[in-house]
Structure 1
Amino acid sequence: MDYINAFWVGGLICALVQILLDRTKLMPGRIMVILVCTGAVLSALGIFQPLLEYAGAGVSVPLLGFGNILWKGMEEAIAEEGILGLFMGGFQACATGVSAALIFSYLASLIFKPKMKD
């Protein structure tokens, strides 16, 4: 049942994003920002964790999970550092994932020799 829940929740999120792409003039980058911010807001409201327990990867993979990680990092840093943690926490929480993405994408560009589209 876990797989089915992950599939339908993740599919619903992706379908809503596709509707945004088709029906609005929003560019994909802005929609990605909306997803990350939505994940952070859902985490702040306490809605993300029950949704994560229900749908698992279906809710954490489509960029909502990144917003959740940012919020958790900010929440911990605010508890430790005060208001300064608001600016530090998100960077500390996601630094490993972002660094890995940059390193592996650079290595892939060395291996596959990317070209600009015509």
Structure 2
Amino acid sequence: MQDYLMVFVVGGLICVIGQLLMDLTPLTPAHVLVLFVVVGGILSGLGLYQPLVDMAGAGASIPLTGFGHSLVAGTLEEVDKLGFLGIFTGALKASAAGITAAVLFSFLAALLCNPKG
């Protein structure tokens, strides 16, 4: 039960921060999206995001900061294996499933839904 609570609290706090940024600053949702991915990547590169993922699980890995973490963690892993070539392959290898799912479900939504245009 405590694990579910931690997932909810951490994921909720990340979402609250995003909402506050959109409500209290001139940042657009696109700015917040990019900011969260970059912050997740920076925190991952500094070794600060993985402990949060270990503690909160999906609460930290599902939000956009988790995508940034996934990109950087995959890149670092591939650099350890392949050297310089890992810079180019790591991020795509680590995030391929998420990107594929996003494209597939977006395509299905476009086929099934009528636009309001």
How far did 1:82 drift?
2.2
One-letter identity of the residue aligned with 2:74: G
How far did 1:68 drift?
1.4
How far did 1:67 drift?
1.1
Q: Quote the RMSD (CA, aligned, Å).
A: 1.5
Q: Aligned with 2:116: secondary structure?
A: coil
Partners of 1:57 and 1:22 lie apart in 2 by: 25
Unaligned runs of 5+ in 2: none
TM normalised by structure 2 equals: 0.88
**Hey, what does 2:18 align to over in structure 1?**
17
Deviation by residue 1:62-112 (Cα, 9 ceiling, x = unmatched): 111111110121112212332232232112221222122112211121112
Once the two structures are superposed, the pairs formed by residues 91-102 of structure 1 within 5 Å of their partners are 91-102=92-103
TM normalised by structure 1 equals: 0.87
Partners of 2:94 and 2:9 lie apart in 1 by: 28
Unaligned runs of 5+ in 1: none
Partners of 1:58 and 1:73 lie apart in 2 by: 19
Partners of 1:16 and 1:101 lie apart in 2 by: 24
Partners of 1:47 and 1:89 lie apart in 2 by: 19
One-letter identity of the residue aligned with 2:57: G
**Hey, what does 1:65 align to over in structure 2?**
66
Once the two structures are superposed, the pairs formed by residues 1-118 of structure 1 within 5 Å of their partners are 1-116=2-117
For this pair of structures, how many residues does the alignment match? 116
How far did 1:52 drift?
1.3
Partners of 2:6 and 2:37 lie apart in 1 by: 21
